[in-house]
Structure 1
Amino acid sequence: MCRNIHQLHNFEPPATRDEIQAAALQYVRKVAGSTRPSAANQEAFDRAVAAIAAATAELLDELVTSAAPKNREVEAAKARARAEKRYAS
């Protein structure tokens, strides 16, 4: 999985359209192997991002869980602590 794509399910507040779009863009960039497509490939690239964003939004709408929603700030703090420990010199 792309390291830049973050978990979007079961957060309070729920994932925004911008977060879903960013995840779709990162996925397409990874699969395509480039961050900026050529002019000849731009339309296909944009269609793929839109399709993946739509599928992701549908998936998130349909997923169910009995777990309590995670707090974004708490999870971000945990990630920062892990990064500090990992990259400490």
Structure 2
Amino acid sequence: MGRKRDTDIVGGLEKRLEGSSTSAKVSAAPEPAPAPQAAPAPSRKAGARDGMKFVGFYTTEEQTEKLRVLAFETRQEKQVLMREALDLLFKRYGQ
């Protein structure tokens, strides 16, 4: 059968070091890990989406392409154009 595995990492390391000619010794008790730091906040523009909700919907390829071209020509984000389109839709139906 195979060789028995040594699951004690520190003990196994000490055994290996004892047999070698190096003068370094490994302490039996590892030093405690430093306290974990708080995770940094996600990097995004502060307030860019505050107070907003996501609404997704499907469009035809033609509509998608027209929106892409319009966004490029007007140098505005598609989101801005879609919010403007919603405002016009609400105005049309008296909302």
Tell me if TM exceeds 0.5.
Answer: no
Query: Of Structure 1 and Structure 2, which has the larger fraction of its residues in helix?
Result: 1
Bin for the TM-score computed over the shorter chain: under 0.3
Structure with greater contact order relative to length (CA < 8 Å, sep ≥ 6): 1
Query: Of Structure 1 and Structure 2, which has the larger fraction of its residues in strand?
Result: 1
TM-score (normalised: structure 1): 0.27
Which protein is bigger by CA-based radius of gyration?
Answer: 2
